[in-house]
């Protein structure tokens, strides 16, 4: 934010130095090339705000809809990054359709979770995760372009999870909402 909103030439110089130091630190912590990291730092202007990940939560006969990610071949709730000009409910419906071939009607926000507060691998971005309960409008589930498999998961199953996207504690939380539809929205 300092480079975007600073006016003093000395402060702007210091912010440039801080950016260079930050790039060096990130390079030391990751395998990413310096040029790529510097590009990420340079592309983000203004106040840093979290990215938004939207997950569709769909139940059928007490089972939770899960998709197997093509990226890591592990399981997650259908979802992805929020799209510009789409509401979170629209994103949830779109992601469930694209990843599982199922038409749904988004009903209710269940949770807004800060990824940093959950036992998940951390990301280069700060991420808020929105979990949206969707009504199953019927149909047959099928793989999408980004998914290898789709299934209805019983609460006793323990699938290998795509932990950058979903952790077991979040799956358990979704079943809590299934058991108690009056449960308040969780926002941490």
Exposed / middle / buried, residue 70 (Cβ in 10 Å: 0-12, 13-18, 19+)? middle
Q: Give the residues across from 151 on adjacent strands.
A: 66
Q: What is the pLDDT of residue 2?
A: 64
Domain coordinates in residue numbering, the chain = 2-43, 51-187
| CATH architecture of the region 51-187 | Alpha-Beta Complex (3.90)
Statement: the pTM of the whole predicted model exceeds 0.85: no
Q: Closest Cα to residue 39, out of 124, 112, 127? A: 124
pLDDT tens column, 124-173: 889 999 999 999 998 899 999 999 999 999 999 999 999 999 999 999 99
Q: What is the pLDDT of residue 104?
A: 98
H helix count then E strand count, the chain: 5, 8
Q: What is the pLDDT of residue 172?
A: 98
Average pLDDT of the residues in 84-93: 97
pLDDT tens column, 3-59: 666 677 777 777 778 778 877 887 888 878 888 877 776 666 667 789 999 999 999
Q: What is the pLDDT of residue 100?
A: 98
Count of Cβ atoms closer than 10 Å to residue 183 Cβ: 13
pLDDT at 183 over 80: yes
């Amino acid at each position: 934010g300092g480079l975007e909103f600073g006016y003093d030439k000395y402060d702007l110089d210091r912010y440039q130095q801080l950016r260079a130091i930050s790039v060096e630190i990130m390079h030391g912590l990751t395998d990413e090339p310096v040029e790529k990291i510097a590009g990420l730092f340079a592309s983000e202007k203004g106040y840093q705000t979290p990215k938004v990940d939207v997950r569709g939560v769909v139940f059928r006969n007490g089972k939770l809809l899960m998709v197997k990610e093509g990226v890591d071949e592990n399981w997650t709730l259908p979802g992805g990054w929020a799209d510009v000009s789409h509401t979170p409910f629209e994103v949830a419906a779109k992601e469930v359709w694209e990843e599982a071939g199922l038409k749904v009607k988004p009903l209710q926000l269940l949770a807004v979770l800060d990824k940093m507060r959950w036992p998940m691998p951390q990301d280069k971005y700060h991420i808020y995760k929105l979990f949206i309960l969707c009504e199953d409008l019927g149909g047959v589930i099928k793989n999408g372009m980004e998914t290898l498999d789709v299934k209805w998961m019983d609460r006793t199953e323990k699938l290998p999870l795509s932990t950058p996207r979903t952790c077991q504690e979040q799956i358990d939380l979704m079943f809590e909402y299934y058991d108690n539809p009056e449960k308040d929205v969780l926002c941490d």
